Structure 1
Amino acid sequence: MDSTESLIGMRRLLENLLSPDNSVRIQSELEFKHFMESDANSLSYLLIQTALDDSLALATRQSALLQIKRIVPLVWSPAFDKFVGPTPINQKIKGILRNSLLKLVADPDSKIRSSASYAIVQIAAVDYPDEWPELLGHLYDSTTNPDSSMFNIIGSLSVLQEIFDDIVTDQQFFEGGVAIQVLKTCETLLQNKFNSAEVKVETLRLLKSLCQSFDNADFDINGREQFCNSVIPQIYQLVISTSKNVSAEPFVNSLTAWELKYETYYILDYFMNSFSNLLESFASASFNLLLQDFSVQSEVYQQLLMSDIDTIEFDKIFTDVKQFYSSQRERKEPYPFLTTSMSKEVEFMQTLIEIQNVDNPVHLSNILDLLAHVSILPSSKIEDYNSDFNQFVTDESGLNVEIAIRDSIRELLSDINENANHILIDLLMEKLNKLGDLKANQLKAETIVFLLSCCFENDDTIVQAPSFDLEKFLNSSLNLLLSGYIVSEKFQFLAARFILMIPRFLFKFANKCKQFGVSAFTKICSVISKLGGVDDFFIVKSSILISLQYYNYFIRAKEFGTLVQNELLGLVTQVSTEATEDTNMTLLDVMTIIISIDNLELTKNSHTIELILTIGFKNDSNFTMSSAMFECIEDILKDIPKPNYDDIVSFVFPFLLQKIVEVKEEYSSDIDLCLQVLGSFLKVNSSYQIPGEIFYNTFSVINKFILVCQDDELIQSSTEALIELVRHSPELCSKFIDPETKETGIQILLRNTAKLLSPDMSDRAIVKLGDLVNLLITNFNQSIGSYLDEILRALTVRLVHATEVPTIENMILIFNALTISQPSSTINFLKSFMIDGKPALVKVLPLWFQAYEVMRGYDSILSNVRAFIEIYKLNDRDIKGIVVDGDPLPQQVPDGIIVTRSIAKRMSIKYKQIPADAKIVSLLLEELKNEITAGDHGAAVGHIRDVDNDNDYDDVDDDDDDGWEDVEDLGRQTLDQLKDYVDEQKSLKRDRVGNNDDMKELLISFFKECTVQNTSNFEDIYNQFMSDNQRKLLSEYLLFT
């Protein structure tokens, strides 16, 4: 087949890969896979030739580049983690692909440029700089060559951005000359008046990608700080000059000019925030330019706010809409982009206000007018909120991930300096009073109240009394609500804004107004009865619930009383009927406060717990919602009488168990949550034994479920529920007899344990296996005595073959417990059998050490420390003979080698080999270091000095060479010297009073014993395996703590 036929065949294959016919697509995938495996060179060549052919349909060319991106990690080089080979693409084809991709970044189509850029960066990740040294030089030349097309410049700049984000190291950036070259390139492009706005936008994006390198610069490396101090002001000057040039001409009707403005303000804000000490001289000019731009841009933006987004004809406002769309790598719409741009300018305004400490009333009044101009509630938002109140809740609860200019304004006003905050509040109160009829000016009134609310969020100290009467303002605000004057079904937002503002106002002036908080909220709750039926005024109702969270900052929930509690419960019930995800989350958060008013009252019937479960189960796969529901369950059950607890359990458990019994599918998030809820009920009141009938039903259902279940997640959750159930009522478990099989409860537990110990079970499924076995040993040791060795052997095998860290940690905890209680027996047990041809002890100890180094939780770490101490004190010859990994060996990278990300992935770290007892000492010393540095080490040292002063050593000769403070190098002391010092300190200080459960005390006691008594030949480890630094740390810790 000649080359033309091959290309035609490739086009046909690419078209078939995009076919809507599933069978055609599957067959084409198989054909493509076979082609790649049999001749990756020809496949790569044909794909790139197809992509280069601009006579072909755009979809075909894009498909070719997509396939190149797919196969590069598979066939390009063994340096890729996903490389399958068997041999990499040959050098000739690689050269063709590299050169062709560089040509494609100059394509007029932005999607072709973007795909080619992605493929270049993929290849550069493994080829640059060794196999593709000319890459950066080519890209620099393409951007500054007068003959380069605009698309070539834009495409090359785009590739440079990606390279700096993913490939270029700090060493290459600073010492390798990359920074200088890029900055020169950017300067040339930005200062060239003939370059288009699109080129300058892309240049600024490249500059933006360099910001992180400056912010993370390691100033300990010689020359970097001086370089940054010199270059950053130059960059700032370059960018602000570019921005001024745009502002010199009318620009607000060009979306590309808005893009340019956005990029400039992003960079200026970044540098001013991070390096204000270098840029203060630019602050005033920057502020003037910003206010000038914001003023003209806000006029256009406000038009959009007041319009229906769906009907806006952007091409009648902006002259380059088509150009804006065609230049996007990832399509973005004008309105969200304009919002992002204005928000960024507000952020920069906040930065400059903070740096300049702006508090001039005239300046602040001008700033406030600008902010008010763009704070109007958008028409699109009003429509969205009215059609679905859940969107209002999402925005007001801070759960919306979309950028909104109001969020940026809130951030500015809530963080502004105290003098400015005082002035702004007075200015806003003046504006509110001048409005007159708030209902007739409800949109402006809502904006002013919103801005006031933002100012009240500012927690800076009140510098002087406000110019208005606080109590009068509160009462007038409440009267507006209580009278119903501003409560309108068509425009609920003004009432909602007052409801949300009042608690912030009370908190701001808490020293004078806190006492009004309970009565104010009680009065607002009285409005509920006037809000029509259950389907009306959801925005006002939601705002009452959201506001409760603000009151909770400064008022204890119990102060509200049960009448308000009942009102709020009714409100939650009403809102929950129409609530979606974010609102459900907010309702659960609010429920924790409502429960705190009087949780005992709410357990007198099942209504509240039913409401909590109904809301929580609406989105049973949402982890955050589930966590909030568990918090509600914990709060409502806390410290309630046993009869109330039994009634709640008797209501909830049958409901949950029925769901579990009826499960038909392998995995169900609903069943998973049921099992977790069962566990949470049992954890809260562990001292209460649940009613016998409920226990037996629950025990039977969960055990049967575990035996038949095949899903990892459900096995894990059901095991956790079973553990809590048995831990909760071990006596009932001992008495249980299955009515059908006549098996005892313990026999059933052993059967389930055997299933979990099976090699067929995944690590994820058995993540709580260790807890289950520990429970069996702790509660039923006598009953399972004949099975114990078998269980522990199987558990050890599972531990050795486990790969999931949580599973390993959980099983290690069993060996901790066994070692603490019976150290010699546990170690001898691990010596008594083989795994994969080696004693179990040899296989387990390295895992034990690895698990300890990543273990979480104080109790778990403490149990490990105690176990390690017991193992060490055994002075076991076999343990001393086990060699494990110590610290990483130094200098593993040859001089001159730059460790790129790809090289780092391929590097295998080599470790010093040390005996297991030395490893234990090393780990325990590191733990002691963590304990001391986490506490107040300085205070400990000071306490020692106080002890010395109490003993009156003023007459000691300053030149006394025996004093500890005159020892020049603690790390070079012999163990005998250290022993002498420890003995001396013991005579100077009283013994500590403490128990061995205190980690620091336990470790210090251990090391003192080792030092003084040479426990388990500690001297050998001290001399042979401890570094000078470790010895120094040990000396400091033993004597200065």
Structure 2
Amino acid sequence: MEEQLVRLLAETQSSQQVPRKQAELQLQQLYNEEAFPIGLASVASHDSVPADIRQSALLALKTFVLGAWTPQFDEFKGRILVSDENKSRLRHMLLELATSGKEERKIKSAASYVISKIASSDFPDEWPDLLPTLLRVIPAGTDSQLHGALKVLSDLVEDCLNEDQFFSVARDLVKVVYDVAVNEARKPTLRALAVSVFRSCFNILEMVMEDHKTEVKGFAEEALNAWTPFFVEVLMSRLPPPPPEDEEIHEGNSADTYRGLIALKLQVVKVLVRIRTLFPATLSPQSPVLFSATWEELSSLQNAYHGMYIEDERQGRLEDADGLPYTLDFLVLEELDFMQACLRAPPVRKELQQQLAAQTSANGSPHSTWVTEVMKLAVAYAQITTEEEGLWDIDVNIFLSEETNVTANYTARTACGDLVIKLGEWLKEATVDGLLTHTRSLYSENTDWKAKEAALYLLNQLLGDFSDVNKQVSASSANGYVDFIRYAMQQGNVFLRARGYLVAGSLTRTSGEALHQVSLSFMEASLQAMTHDSSEVVKVSCIRALQYYLTALPASTTLPVQETIISALAQYLSTQDLSDLNESDDLMVTLVETLRDAIMLDPRVCLTGAGLDLLFTIAGHGANNFQITMLITEIFEDITTKLTAQ
């Protein structure tokens, strides 16, 4: 049967539909054969069979197990097609395959997945020796055996162990993975996998915390006392220089080590974030040293990150066959989030406040403080990556979705925005002053446009948060940014130019009357750019910025230009392919919201001007979009109410 299975599995990968469908049908017809699942496991275990066929055999076996192993599975087809004797043989064959001494990561991962499905039904009653076998293999096994055993253990902890089973083996399990994690003789990737297993334990702890608070807290404190020195050591260790791009994606000692060390650091940060979420008081005493280590690490990685993602376009967001992220962008993102989380820890705040007071007293001003240093770090990582630059050039809707924070794409840039926002919530004046101080230094030097844009982007994020909670920027700080905004609005780079227009509007909205003298010229510049700038990114930025002026400036300033604004919006819309706008949700929403704000200055414009025609045009092309339809319906209701009242 094995030869038949190899042939059929090969044909299921055919690019031709007819033979592929026939092979899939023949495999299903073999389900009733007693030797079928054993044959698949045997094919997967043969070194002589190509790796893709072996993986395919395990995938077919997983599908068979879900449909024919036990009624407990949702995918069960109604008949158990495996005898108890064959079940026992399969369990043994699969575990042996997963923990073999051969270097076959993808095969082991696929085998582990089948094991976890079977274990979710059979462990521990029908498979009592599964966990003891793993705990025996892990300490003494070769790297290959260890990899398979850790992968199976990871799936077991995540999917199979209930609270009683977990607590009966918790200390032994945690000790076994701890010994792997701290063992520098092991490959970094295996150590990362061990840390990942430890992190999965906290998912079980979270589920039982409410009912067993004392026991869970005691276990967590005991585990952390052992693990925390290791976490600090990993965070404080330095990465080697990244390998060249042509080596990075290939197997090799230096590239493997680099990827493994990133994966290890990443898993350490992930487990710290998890602990910080579940047991903040337990981690709090260690938070100052963890905060410092994370800050130092991020500072040391700036040049590598800048070279790989801001100057070059290295591939990011990559995971290995075990689901472990291993690229630098992932590590930076996790560390920025953890740094932000540490800022909320009382010991960190106490120490930083003391430092800020001492630095301010020594300098006689709030400049050159640790806050300014955080701003330098944030600006370094908030710069537009080469990938983002390319995407935004192609599709302005992606740019707008980032700008309006409706995207699910969480990047180092957005994480830096969140970091600055959290700092501003705690130390408002110091954050604004620190960012202004660093912005001055950037604009006084021959700095790359990306750094200048990033500084204004972070200001924009901070101002957006201030607006949400009704905070304002002082007049001196607001006026301190005016020259930088003017400079940005006149630059050749479209993203720096667009940022200038956006920040001008945001600053007007959050500075009270401080900028009213220059805001009219800013608004007029936005109207001019809307119709005459060559860049779509700049045009839509100006359309969005107009919303800020219309809500912040007095009617005596905005009402005289009401019809000019509506005319500029109509002119912009006339240059667009309206059929394309159906797929540009964020752009459509921005257009409608800006038009609404312009009309509501005085709805009587609808009786004589083009405002109503423009609304009908947009409504006609956005009829399939629920959000647009609801927004326009509300606008018509508001117009009717106001006109009736007048």
Is the structural similarity TM-score above 0.5? yes
Contact 1:14 1:64 in 2 (8 A): yes
Q: Distance in 1 between the 2:23 and 2:64 partners?
A: 15
Q: Could you list the per-position Cα deviations for residues 407-439 of structure 1 after superposition, in whole angstroms to 9, with x for gaps in the alignment?
A: 111111111255633223213222333445689
- The one-letter amino acid of 1:539's match is V
| Cα distance change, pair 218–558 in 1 and its aligned pair in 2 (3 A) | farther
Aligned to 1:9: 4
Contact 2:375 2:420 in 1 (8 A): no
Q: Distance in 2 between the 1:537 and 1:265 partners?
A: 41
Query: Please, which of 538, 542, 546 is the counterpart of residue 540 of structure 1?
Result: 538
Q: Distance in 1 between the 2:628 and 2:106 partners?
A: 43
| Cα distance change, pair 132–9 in 1 and its aligned pair in 2 (3 A) | same
Aligned to 2:490: 487
| Cα distance change, pair 65–206 in 1 and its aligned pair in 2 (3 A) | same
| Cα distance change, pair 275–532 in 1 and its aligned pair in 2 (3 A) | closer
Aligned to 2:617: 611
Secondary structure at 1:132's aligned position in 2? coil
Aligned to 1:165: 158
User: How far 1:240 moved relative to its partner?
Assistant: 4.5
User: How far 1:463 moved relative to its partner?
Assistant: 11
| Cα distance change, pair 567–203 in 1 and its aligned pair in 2 (3 A) | farther
- The one-letter amino acid of 1:186's match is V
Contact 2:13 2:20 in 1 (8 A): yes
| Cα distance change, pair 566–437 in 1 and its aligned pair in 2 (3 A) | farther
User: How far 1:530 moved relative to its partner?
Assistant: 3.7
Q: Distance in 1 between the 2:420 and 2:29 partners?
A: 62
> Is 1:526 the equivalent of 2:524?
yes
Aligned to 1:227: 216
> Is 1:371 the equivalent of 2:378?
yes
Aligned to 1:191: 182
**Farther-moved stretch of structure 1 (124-133 vs 255-264):** 124-133
Matches of residues 182-331 of structure 1 in structure 2 within 5 Å? 182-221=173-212, 224-232=213-221, 234-235=223-224, 237-245=226-234, 247-248=236-237, 250-253=239-242, 254-309=258-313, 327-329=320-322
Contact 2:509 2:552 in 1 (8 A): yes
Contact 1:252 1:258 in 2 (8 A): no
| Cα distance change, pair 32–530 in 1 and its aligned pair in 2 (3 A) | same
Contact 1:435 1:445 in 2 (8 A): yes
Q: Could you list the per-position Cα deviations for residues 862-898 of structure 1 after superposition, in whole angstroms to 9, with x for gaps in the alignment?
A: xxxxxxxxxxxxxxxxxxxxxxxxxxxxxxxxxxxxx
User: How far 1:263 moved relative to its partner?
Assistant: 1.0
Q: Distance in 2 between the 1:250 and 1:609 partners?
A: 56
Aligned to 2:588: 587
| Larger RCO (CA within 8 A; separation ≥ 6) | 2
| Cα distance change, pair 440–363 in 1 and its aligned pair in 2 (3 A) | closer
> Is 1:340 the equivalent of 2:330?
yes
**Farther-moved stretch of structure 1 (155-164 vs 279-288):** 155-164
Query: Please, which of 104, 113, 117 is the counterpart of residue 118 of structure 1?
Result: 113
| Cα distance change, pair 368–640 in 1 and its aligned pair in 2 (3 A) | closer
Contact 1:350 1:412 in 2 (8 A): yes
Contact 1:568 1:594 in 2 (8 A): no
Aligned to 2:255: none
Aligned to 1:103: 96
Q: Distance in 2 between the 1:626 and 1:43 partners?
A: 51
Contact 1:416 1:458 in 2 (8 A): no
Q: Distance in 2 between the 1:401 and 1:303 partners?
A: 25
Contact 2:302 2:380 in 1 (8 A): yes
- The one-letter amino acid of 2:333's match is S
User: How far 1:532 moved relative to its partner?
Assistant: 8.1
> Is 1:384 the equivalent of 2:391?
yes
Of structures 1 and 2, the larger Rg is shown by 1
- The one-letter amino acid of 2:153's match is L
> Is 1:138 the equivalent of 2:138?
no
User: How far 1:84 moved relative to its partner?
Assistant: 2.6
- The one-letter amino acid of 1:195's match is R
**Farther-moved stretch of structure 1 (521-530 vs 151-160):** 521-530
Contact 1:215 1:274 in 2 (8 A): yes
> Is 1:569 the equivalent of 2:558?
no
Matches of residues 348-367 of structure 1 in structure 2 within 5 Å? 348-355=338-345, 356-357=348-349, 358-359=352-353, 360-361=355-356, 362-367=369-374
- The one-letter amino acid of 1:505's match is L
Aligned to 1:1037: none
Secondary structure at 1:55's aligned position in 2? coil
Contact 1:535 1:574 in 2 (8 A): no
Q: Distance in 1 between the 2:165 and 2:390 partners?
A: 53
Contact 2:592 2:615 in 1 (8 A): no
- The one-letter amino acid of 1:277's match is A
Q: Distance in 2 between the 1:68 and 1:381 partners?
A: 41
Contact 2:189 2:260 in 1 (8 A): yes
| Cα distance change, pair 629–124 in 1 and its aligned pair in 2 (3 A) | same
User: How far 1:509 moved relative to its partner?
Assistant: 3.7
Note the residue ranges of structure 2 that are not aligned, 5 or more in a row: 243-257, 357-368
Q: Distance in 2 between the 1:167 and 1:270 partners?
A: 20
Contact 1:74 1:82 in 2 (8 A): yes
Q: Distance in 2 between the 1:259 and 1:14 partners?
A: 34
Q: Distance in 1 between the 2:291 and 2:170 partners?
A: 28
User: How far 1:75 moved relative to its partner?
Assistant: 1.3
Secondary structure at 1:536's aligned position in 2? coil
Query: Please, which of 132, 141, 149 is the counterpart of residue 142 of structure 2?
Result: 149
Secondary structure at 1:195's aligned position in 2? coil
- The one-letter amino acid of 1:608's match is L
Q: Distance in 1 between the 2:403 and 2:415 partners?
A: 14
> Is 1:393 the equivalent of 2:400?
yes
| Cα distance change, pair 171–558 in 1 and its aligned pair in 2 (3 A) | farther
Matches of residues 961-972 of structure 1 in structure 2 within 5 Å? none
User: How far 1:154 moved relative to its partner?
Assistant: 2.0
Q: Distance in 1 between the 2:532 and 2:425 partners?
A: 43
**Count of residues in correspondence between the two structures:** 601
Q: Could you list the per-position Cα deviations for residues 194-237 of structure 1 after superposition, in whole angstroms to 9, with x for gaps in the alignment?
A: 2221111101111222222333433344xx42432442363365
> Is 1:626 the equivalent of 2:631?
no
Q: Distance in 1 between the 2:25 and 2:262 partners?
A: 47
Contact 1:198 1:256 in 2 (8 A): yes
Note the residue ranges of structure 1 that are not aligned, 5 or more in a row: 1-5, 315-320, 646-1041
Q: Distance in 2 between the 1:345 and 1:573 partners?
A: 43
User: How far 1:380 moved relative to its partner?
Assistant: 3.5
- The one-letter amino acid of 2:566's match is N
- The one-letter amino acid of 1:61's match is R
Q: Distance in 1 between the 2:448 and 2:588 partners?
A: 32
User: How far 1:9 moved relative to its partner?
Assistant: 1.5
- The one-letter amino acid of 1:122's match is K
- The one-letter amino acid of 1:93's match is N
Q: Distance in 1 between the 2:495 and 2:162 partners?
A: 52
Secondary structure at 1:595's aligned position in 2? helix
Q: Distance in 2 between the 1:268 and 1:116 partners?
A: 30
User: How far 1:529 moved relative to its partner?
Assistant: 5.3
Matches of residues 454-465 of structure 1 in structure 2 within 5 Å? 454-459=461-466
Q: Distance in 2 between the 1:397 and 1:86 partners?
A: 53
Contact 2:472 2:511 in 1 (8 A): no
Contact 1:458 1:508 in 2 (8 A): no
Q: Could you list the per-position Cα deviations for residues 825-880 of structure 1 after superposition, in whole angstroms to 9, with x for gaps in the alignment?
A: xxxxxxxxxxxxxxxxxxxxxxxxxxxxxxxxxxxxxxxxxxxxxxxxxxxxxxxx
Percent sequence identity is 19
User: How far 1:134 moved relative to its partner?
Assistant: 1.9
